Amino acid sequence: MAKSDEMNEKWRERLDILKDVPPRDAQRAAESRAVYLERARQLAETVSGSPKRRPLTKGMWIPLIFWKRKERSLMVNPILALVLVLSLVFGGGGATVAAAQSSLPDQPLYGLKLWSEDARLSFTNQPENGWQVALQFAERRIAEIRAMIEAGKQPDEALQTRYEAQLEQALRYAQNLPDEQALRALEQIRQRLRLQEEQMSQLPANQAVVVQTRKMIQQRLEWVENGLQEPQQFRQRMQQRQLPNEVPPAQPGGGKPWTDETPTPGSGYGPGGAGTGNPWTDETPTPGSGYGPGGEGTGNPWTDETPTPGSGYGPGGEGSGNPWTDETPTPGSGYGPGGEGSGNPWTDETPTPGSGYGPGGEGSGNPWTDETPTPGSGYGQPGGPGDTGGGGGKKP
The contact set with another protein (CB under 8 A) reads 4, 7-8, 11-12, 14-25, 28-29, 32-33, 35-37, 39-41, 43-44, 46-47, 49, 51, 54-58, 70
Q: How far is the CB of 96 from another protein (least distance, A)?
A: 42
Q: How far is the CB of 38 from another protein (least distance, A)?
A: 10
Considering the complex, state which of residue 6 and residue 305 has its C-beta at the smaller distance from another protein. 6
Q: How far is the CB of 114 from another protein (least distance, A)?
A: 55
Strands (E), the chain: none
Considering the complex, state which of residue 59 and residue 279 has its C-beta at the smaller distance from another protein. 59
For 52, 210, 273, 280, 393, the CA distances from 293, given in Å and listed in that order, are: 98, 49, 8, 12, 16
Q: How far is the CB of 63 from another protein (least distance, A)?
A: 14
Eight-state DSSP code of residue 304: S
3-state secondary structure of 211: helix
Considering the complex, state which of residue 16 and residue 150 has its C-beta at the smaller distance from another protein. 16
Closest by Cα among 235, 254, 141 to 181:
235
Considering the complex, state which of residue 29 and residue 95 has its C-beta at the smaller distance from another protein. 29
**Whole-angstrom distance, CA of residue 346 vs CA of residue 358:** 10
Considering the complex, state which of residue 21 and residue 243 has its C-beta at the smaller distance from another protein. 21
**Whole-angstrom distance, CA of residue 116 vs CA of residue 88:** 18
Residues 6+ apart with CB under 8 A from 290: 268, 355, 356, 357, 358, 388, 389
Q: How far is the CB of 62 from another protein (least distance, A)?
A: 17
Q: How far is the CB of 46 from another protein (least distance, A)?
A: 8
Residues 6+ apart with CB under 8 A from 238: 171, 172, 175
Considering the complex, state which of residue 30 and residue 83 has its C-beta at the smaller distance from another protein. 30
Closest by Cα among 337, 369, 334 to 353:
369
Residues 6+ apart with CB under 8 A from 282: 258
